[in-house]
Amino acid sequence: MFQSLRALRLLPFAVLCLLSACASGPQLLPETARLPERVELADVPFFQLSDAQGGPSALAALLNHHGVIASPGLVDERIQQLAKGQSPQAGIEAVARSYELLVYPLPGNLDALMQQVSAGHPVLVMQDRLFGGPGSQFAVLVGYDQRERTLVLRSGNTRRWYTSFASFDNAWGEAGRWAVLIQPTNQLPAKPVEHVWLQAARDLQQQGHGQAAQRALRAARQVWSGAAL
């Protein structure tokens, strides 16, 4: 034990700092650190857990946030009709498109998620065992605090679930780092990526929602004049 403590004392200061950084979770990019220190989207609705994974509850909250009246029960009915047998994520995406909303996937890093929340866009994510139960569960990221290095999520039976950057990143990573925005077709996300937005519009078109896809294309052309489906 004494030798271990002595060895630790002899470690270079830079190495100790690196170890401390790893323990505290993902290190944010400088541009993320320049976002507002604390953000919470308090107006995002909340529905208690409707099933083991909470997908219908999470999507119903986002639908209502965008002015679409829906309940977890109605969302679950649509999943059974449109996406039975698909993965939970694919089912949720298909149902979101059935309401003519665009599903915009995000990169698998915390910076991308915080950037969207800072711009007023709640993020739908999947976590693994974050809320104490077995398997994965959907959640809606609605806030963060950079100083405290915590996030605020809606999921399960908790309207404001607080978790550290490190805990979130671990649980999110174990579930595959799936994260999407559920957006109106005329509302681009923060720092949109052209090919990602256009592919999301094509997904709408392929699911039979051509008019919604055209609205998404018109929104794209406000930023990228040559955009085409």
Q: Give the model confidence (pLDDT) of 131-185 as tens digits.
A: 455 578 999 999 999 999 999 999 888 999 999 999 999 999 999 999 999 999 9
Overall number of domains in the chain: 1
Cα–Cα distance for residue pair 96/213, rounded to 1 Å:
13
Query: Looking at the domain assignment, is residue 203 inside a domain?
Result: no
Report the CATH number at residue 152: 3.90.70.10
Q: What are phi and psi of 154, to 5 degrees?
A: -110, 125
Give mean pLDDT in consecutive 10-residue pieces for the chain, a chain of 229 residues.
Answer: 37 37 74 97 92 90 97 94 90 97 98 98 88 75 97 92 96 95 98 98 98 98 95
Query: Looking at the domain assignment, is residue 200 inside a domain?
Result: no
What angle, rounded to 10 degrees, do the helices at 88-98 and 55-65 form?
30
Cα–Cα distance for residue pair 59/51, rounded to 1 Å:
12
Half-sphere exposure of 25 (CA within 13 A, CB side): 21
What pLDDT digit, counting tens, does each position of 19-30 carry? 343 446 799 999
Domain that holds residue 91: 33-186
Query: Looking at the domain assignment, is residue 221 inside a domain?
Result: no
Query: Looking at the domain assignment, is residue 180 inside a domain?
Result: yes
Cα–Cα distance for residue pair 141/162, rounded to 1 Å:
10
Query: Looking at the domain assignment, is residue 98 inside a domain?
Result: yes
Burial of 119 (0-12, 13-18, 19+ CB in 10 A): middle
